[in-house]
């Protein structure tokens, strides 16, 4: 169980993301020598001991900035706005300082701000990588701090002392509301090309500026997780960085972001593919859809910026959807919704579709019904005689072995020789006749030897 929220703040490039990764034992936050890498709030669980499920939620933030000093390309200081949100919800704030850079005027400004918010502050001086840096710690007492913890996030120095300090401070601050992912939640990844409006959609769905939104393409670099309750059901929304073709990825930093987006697809139950209405479904979008379908993930294609489509008629949505389905070919069962995040048009219908897909994705069908459908499928279209053995394939029985995705095991005499075209036929029939109309079904063909005599 997680009790309490701890937020890391500090100037750019002091090591906040390195500490976040160290504490969470992950590589969730992107680290780089370039200042200003982290932009959104990134959340992760921290446990006091490896085998004990007790700890707190840690939050990584973008670097502290002022009007005079900026590390981000945005017209407004929206990264600092995200950091302020994280400070407001925190029980404890870790003020991270840089031993190698020494005391900076912005350190003082940030400390003054934190005191004005009446937050419990733990000051930590990072990059104390050896004995020669210990003396640098004394310089930071001029900030008027009573206690400063030395550490090296990169070399795991001082981490245990920091955890003890956090644990004690959370205990002194009194009981906090436990933070835990609810049972039975589904993960929903929001993916797509840069600047399609993924973060704007997330913000509309949750009703706050949870993800950083900007006119700059590729704003989101880190994976952002947000819990959403909808009609008494829990969903974990995962906003991701825009996915470009490999040839378009010019910087190693963006490569890392793309890898994390692909990982988000892998760990999600449902995928929302966001496209720009003015650009249509690109080849890259189609690749993303096919990638998710290969993993048997339900997909919703969200056509954003519908307000920018000129000369719309009563049939525009239907015609646009038809063109997308034609391009997707064999996977044209995927639902499509045309929205305008800017005008808040039809955004509220997204979660209704997600709920519908979630019900199909989690559904189980009794074995008797699966076998009834199997018999109907064979009667409508008998499989061809196999070339290798000259046998007609016999199907014995079928059963649903799992959900998420709906997986059906089919037992037959020569499973390896079943034609690919017939497998596709069976897949489509099972999908429609068993009520999995909008989600992919996974078929597993298993051999079963006929009894002698």
Residue 242 has pLDDT above 70, yes or no: no
Q: pLDDT confidence of 68, banded at 50, 70, 90?
A: low
- In angstroms, rounded to a whole number, what is the distance separating the alpha carbons of residues 240 and 198? 8
Two tokens at 378? 């064979």
In contact, 151 and 165? CB cutoff 8 Å: no
Residue 220 has pLDDT above 60, yes or no: no
In contact, 403 and 368? CB cutoff 8 Å: no
Q: pLDDT confidence of 241, banded at 50, 70, 90?
A: low
Range in 74-78, 282-286, 395-399 with the lowest mean pLDDT: 74-78
Residue 232 has pLDDT above 70, yes or no: yes
Residue 163 has pLDDT above 60, yes or no: yes
Q: pLDDT confidence of 40, banded at 50, 70, 90?
A: low
In contact, 230 and 322? CB cutoff 8 Å: no
- In angstroms, rounded to a whole number, what is the distance separating the alpha carbons of residues 99 and 88? 27
φ, ψ at 93 (rounded to 5°)? -115, 125
Q: What is the pLDDT of residue 247?
A: 53
Question: What is the mean predicted confidence (pLDDT) over 169-182?
Answer: 66
Q: What is the pLDDT of residue 233?
A: 86
Exposed, middle or buried: residue 47 (CB in 10 Å: 0-12, 13-18, 19+)?
A: middle
Q: What is the pLDDT of residue 389?
A: 61
Question: What is the mean predicted confidence (pLDDT) over 151-158?
Answer: 91
- In angstroms, rounded to a whole number, what is the distance separating the alpha carbons of residues 154 and 256? 19
Q: Where are the beta strands (DSSP E) in 112-185?
A: 120-126, 148-150, 178-179
Beta-ladder partners of 58: 6, 44
- In angstroms, rounded to a whole number, what is the distance separating the alpha carbons of residues 278 and 431? 32
More confident residue, 302 or 2: 302
Q: What is the pLDDT of residue 413?
A: 84
Q: pLDDT confidence of 286, banded at 50, 70, 90?
A: confident
Query: Taking the complete model, does pTM exceed 0.85, yes or no?
Result: no
- In angstroms, rounded to a whole number, what is the distance separating the alpha carbons of residues 71 and 36? 5
Q: pLDDT confidence of 396, banded at 50, 70, 90?
A: very high
Q: What is the pLDDT of residue 273?
A: 92
**Interaxial angle between packed helices 16-24 and 159-172, expressed in degrees from 0 to 180 and rounded to the nearest 10:** 80
- State the DSSP H helix or E strand holding residue 404, giving kind and residue range, or none if neither: none
pLDDT (tens digit, 9 = 90+) per residue, 251-270?
444 444 455 566 677 778 99
Q: Report CA-CA distances (Å) from 55 to 44, 47, 221.
A: 11, 4, 27
Q: Do domains 2-179 and 367-447 have the same CATH topology?
A: no
Question: What is the mean predicted confidence (pLDDT) over 178-205?
Answer: 82
More confident residue, 176 or 285: 285
Q: What is the residue-wise DSSP string for 239-307?
A: E-PPP--GGG--SHHHHHHHHHHHHHHHT-SEEEEEEETTT-S-HHHHHHHHHHHHTT--EEEEEE-GG
- In angstroms, rounded to a whole number, what is the distance separating the alpha carbons of residues 191 and 204? 16
Kindly indicate whether the domain formed by 2-179 is annotated with CATH number 3.40.50.170: no
Each domain of the chain, given as residue ranges in start order, spans 2-179, 186-362, 367-447
pLDDT (tens digit, 9 = 90+) per residue, 83-115?
888 888 888 999 999 998 889 888 888 898 898
User: What CATH fold (topology level) applies to the domain 186-362?
Assistant: Rossmann fold (3.40.50)
Superfamily grouping for domain 367-447: K homology (KH) domain (3.30.300.20)
Q: What is the pLDDT of residue 388?
A: 62
Q: Please identify which residue in the block is written with the tokens 């120095």.
A: 157
């Amino acid at each position: 169980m997680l009790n309490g929220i701890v937020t890391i703040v500090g100037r750019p490039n002091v090591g906040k993301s390195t500490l976040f990764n160290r504490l969470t034992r992950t590589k969730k936050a992107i680290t780089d020598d370039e200042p200003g890498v982290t932009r959104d709030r990134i959340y992760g669980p921290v446990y006091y001991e490896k085998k004990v499920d007790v700890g707190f939620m840690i939050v990584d933030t973008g670097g502290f900035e002022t009007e005079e000093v900026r590390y981000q390309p945005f017209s407004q200081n929206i990264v600092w706005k995200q950091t302020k949100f994280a400070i407001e919800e925190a029980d404890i704030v870790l003020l991270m300082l840089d031993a190698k850079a020494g005391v900076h005027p912005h350190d003082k400004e940030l400390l003054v701000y934190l005191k004005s918010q009446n937050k419990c502050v733990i000051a930590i001086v990072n990059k104390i990588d050896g004995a020669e840096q210990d003396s640098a710690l004394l310089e930071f007492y001029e900030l008027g701090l009573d206690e400063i913890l030395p550490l090296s996030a990169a070399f795991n120095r001082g981490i245990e002392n920091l955890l003890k300090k956090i644990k004690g401070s959370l205990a002194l601050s009194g009981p906090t509301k436990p933070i835990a992912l609810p049972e039975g939640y589904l993960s929903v990844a929001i993916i797509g090309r840069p600047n399609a409006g993924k973060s704007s959609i997330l913000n509309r769905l949750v009703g706050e500026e949870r993800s950083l939104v900007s006119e700059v393409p590729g704003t989101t670099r880190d994976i952002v997780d947000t819990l959403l309750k909808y009609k008494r059901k829990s969903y974990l929304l995962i906003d991701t960085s825009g996915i470009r073709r490999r040839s378009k990825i010019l910087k190693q930093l963006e490569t890392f972001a793309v890898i994390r987006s692909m990982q988000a697809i892998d760990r999600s139950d449902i995928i929302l593919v966001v496209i720009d209405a003015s650009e249509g479904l690109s080849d890259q979008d189609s690749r993303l859809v096919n990638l998710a379908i290969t993993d048997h993930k339900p997909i919703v294609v969200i056509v954003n910026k519908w307000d920018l489509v000129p000369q719309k008629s009563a049939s525009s949505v239907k015609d646009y959807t038809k063109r997308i389905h034609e391009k997707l070919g064999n996977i044209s069962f995927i639902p499509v919704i045309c929205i305008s995040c800017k005008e808040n048009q039809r955004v509220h219908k997204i979660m209704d579709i997600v709920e519908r897909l979630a019900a199909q994705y989690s559904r189980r069908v009794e074995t008797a019904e699966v076998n009834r459908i199997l018999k109907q499928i064979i009667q409508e279209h008998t499989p061809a005689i196999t070339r290798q053995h000259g046998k007609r394939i016999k199907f014995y029985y079928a059963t649903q072995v799992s959900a998420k995705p709906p997986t059906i095991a089919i037992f037959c005499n020569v499973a390896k020789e079943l034609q690919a075209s017939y497998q596709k036929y069976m897949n489509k029939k099972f999908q429609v006749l068993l009520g999995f109309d909008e989600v992919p079904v996974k078929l597993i063909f298993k051999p079963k030897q006929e009894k002698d005599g």
